[in-house]
Amino acid sequence: MSGPLSVRLDPRTKLALLFVWALAVLFSPGLPFEAGMMALAVVFGALCGKMRLSIAMFALYCAAMGIAIALAQVNLGIFSTLFNSFFLLVRKVFPCGLLAAIIVSTTQVNEFMSAFSKMRCPREVTIPFAVMMRYVPAIREDWGYIKDAMRMRGVSPTLGGFLRRPGLTVECLYVPLMMSALNVADELSCASVARGIENPAPRTCHLHIEFGIADAAVAVVAAAVLAAAIVLRGLA
Amino acid sequence: MQSGVQKAKRGLGARDLVTTGVCIALYFVFMMVGSMLFAPNPVLTFLMPAGAALLTGPVYLLLVARVPKHGPLIILGVVEAVVMFVTGMYWLWSVFLVVLGIVGDLIAGAGGFRSKPLNIASFLVFSLNPMGSYIMLWLDPTGYSAYLTEKGTEQAYMDTMVATGADWVLPAMIGLTLACALASALVGMRMLRKQFEKAGMTA
């Protein structure tokens, strides 16, 4: 499903990597460290066959950080707090965001489900989680149809249209989205019950899920990054 | 119609869980859209909780109306918390999501998930969740500014900034977020009554 360079990883490794990355960002000693994490995420993306996405995110990150450093030189009073907290958000979110995007786009929902069930996660969390991951892309598709439908009724799905007729615009937007969501929920639950989601027996997966050499390598790198973050923070 | 408390004892079936998942997806998308309106503009970043609250009300109330049991709101909090944490948001936001999810569940549960005022109150409380990533600015200004600047030399500069900005921004943020959440919830209630209840789409 991905490029020729792609490496197969155990979904549990991917989840662990994401978790460790979030912790490392939390402990991160500063911008250079996060930039390094971003670069590692780009390498990971390239290995998983998501070169274009990784490079694009990296370019955006560099641009944002350039602006942040430039703005730090001038004093803008209270606006500096506002700017700072925004760029801090970008700075902290991008390394994990890129990794999450790569992982979600290279892992199928059933792999996640088996990983979760092997980790003995309760069904109350895994099922909504899997459904959510599956349904978010569908919302974008629905949104296209809804826009067309709104135009046919002469309701403009833009900010201007919203300001002119807020009630109607909001209704035309939410009602079909929520209605179709409920219909999808019904269909999905029928389908999943038919496929035995309520079966209490342990879940099995057609794909063989096992830790391999690639997983070990990723785990070593991730552990090193987290350790470096904690040590460098202690030194700073 | 039997009471929600009795129903809750039966637990969540696969259908409830799938519905919850779909609503979480919608909630997530609306929250992102609401935040993205403000995210590209650094000056408006403090409006982000209000923007998210403004769009998510109908979805939250739909979830409560569709699955009137204990659980879905906690699941909403937990799943959003995991998503926020792994995308590198400030960890206190995730804590807020889980805690407010539980609180929201209890508030809505007090009315058996059918009391409109309590459901709205539950959403108002839950809508304060993004405050988790901003609250540090007031709870622990020095810690937060250290986290922001990471350079000792800028400490004094940050301190004055925190002192001037902080006093009115936090109450204003909370007030605005609650106002937006209330507006959103009222629109959502109206929509549920007008369209969804008539169509028999609520449980």
- CB contact under 8 Å between A128 and B20, yes or no, is yes
Is it the case that residue B122 has pLDDT exceeding 90?
Answer: yes
Domain spans of chain B?
4-196
- The whole-number pLDDT of residue A168 equals 80
Which residue of A19, A31, A71, A129 is the best one to mutate when testing the B interface, meaning the one whose CB has the most B CBs within 10 A? A129
> A40 or B199: which carries more pLDDT confidence?
A40
* Smallest CA–CA distance from A166 into chain B, residue: B187
With contact defined as beta carbons under 8 Å apart, do B168 and B46 qualify? no
Res A101 pLDDT > 70: yes
The CA–CA distances, whole Å, from A97 to A26, A37, A139, A211, B86 equal 14, 11, 20, 24, 8
Residue recorded with tokens 């309520």: A198
Q: How far is A198 from chain B (nearest CA, A)?
A: 7
Residue located via tokens 């409006």? B47
B91 interfaces chain A, CB cutoff of 8 Å? yes
Tens-digit pLDDT profile for residues B173-191: 889 999 999 999 999 998 8
Residue A104 has pLDDT above 80, yes or no: yes
Search chain A and give the residue with CA nearest B82.
Answer: A19
Cross-chain Cβ contact A177/B26 below 8 Å: yes
What is the least distance, in Å, from the CA of A171 to any CA of chain B?
A: 7
What's the sign of the alpha-carbon dihedral B8, B124, B29, A61? negative
Residue A217 has a pLDDT of: 86
Report the gap between the CA of A192 and the closest CA in chain B (Å): 8
Residues of B in contact with A175 (CB under 8 A): 191, 195
Q: Given pLDDT bands bounded at 50, 70 and 90, which one contains residue B41?
A: low
Instruction: Determine what percent of chain B is predicted with pLDDT higher than 90.
Output: 33
- Does the pLDDT value for residue A235 go beyond 60? yes
* Tokens linked to A183: 């219909």
pLDDT of residue B124: 94
How many Å lie between the alpha carbon of B126 and the closest alpha carbon of chain A?
19
Res. B59: pLDDT tops 60: yes
- CA atoms of B150 and B148, how far apart (whole Å): 6
- With a pLDDT cut of 70, the percent of chain B lying above it is 75
Model confidence band, residue B119 (pLDDT cutoffs 50, 70, 90): very high
What does the alpha-carbon distance between residue A234 and residue A105 come to, in Å, rounded to a whole number? Answer: 35
For residue A64, what is the nearest residue in chain B, using CA coordinates? B40
Kindly report which listed range (A83-87, A93-97, A126-130, B53-57) carries the lowest average pLDDT score: A83-87
First-to-final CA distance of chain B: 10
Residue B42 has a pLDDT of: 59
Q: B138 at the A interface (CB within 8 A)? A: no
The distance of B170 to chain A (nearest Cα, Å) reads: 13
**Residues in A touching B42 (Cβ below 8 Å):** 82-83, 86-87
Please report the pLDDT score of residue A161 as a whole number.
73
**CA-CA distance, B194 to B189, in Å (whole number)?**
8
Contacts of residue A236 in chain B, CB cutoff 8 Å?
Answer: 150
Across A56-75, average pLDDT: 82
Q: What's residue B40's pLDDT?
A: 59
Confidence of residue B8 (pLDDT cuts 50, 70, 90): very low
Q: What is the pLDDT of residues B146-165, one digit of tens each?
A: 555 554 445 555 555 555 55
Which pLDDT belongs to residue B4? 41
- Position B2 pLDDT exceeds 50: no
- What single DSSP character describes residue B194? I
**8 Å CB contact of B15 and A193:** yes
pLDDT tens string A107-138:
888 888 888 888 888 888 888 888 888 888 88
Show residues of chain A in contact with B13, CB under 8 Å. Answer: 198
Biggest alpha carbon–alpha carbon distance for chain A: 63
Q: What is residue B63's predicted lDDT score, i.e. its pLDDT?
A: 92
Task: Read off the pLDDT of residues B10-37 as tens digits, 9 standing for 90 and up.
Answer: 578 888 899 999 999 999 988 888 887 7
Asked whether residue A36 carries a pLDDT value surpassing 50, the answer given is yes
With contacts defined as CB-CB under 8 Å, which chain B residues touch A129?
A: 21, 79, 82
Q: How confident is the model at residue A78 (pLDDT cuts 50, 70, 90)?
A: low
Whether A42 shows a pLDDT value over 80: the answer reads yes
pLDDT tens digits for A137-188?
888 888 888 888 888 887 777 777 777 777 788 888 888 888 888 888 888 8
Highest mean pLDDT among A30-34, A137-141, B111-115: B111-115
The angle, 0 to 180 degrees and rounded to 10, between the axes of the packed helices A31-47 and A213-235 is 170
- Rounded to two decimals, the pTM is 0.82
Taking contacts as CB-CB distances below 8 angstroms, the residues of chain B near A179 are 195-196, 199, 201
What average pLDDT does the segment B95-117 reach?
92
- By Cβ distance, the residue of B24, B62, B78 closest to A178 is B62
Show residues of chain A in contact with B43, CB under 8 Å: 79, 82-83
Q: What whole-number distance in Å separates Cα of residue B178 and Cα of residue A51? A: 42
List, in sequence order, the alpha helices (H) in A29-77. 31-47, 51-72
Q: Does B191 touch chain A (CB under 8 A)?
A: yes
Nearest CA in chain B to A142: B26
Label residue A9 by pLDDT band (50, 70, 90). Answer: confident
pLDDT tier at A10, thresholds 50, 70, 90 = confident
Tell me, what's the pLDDT at B93? 86
Nearest-by-CA chain A residue for B85: A22
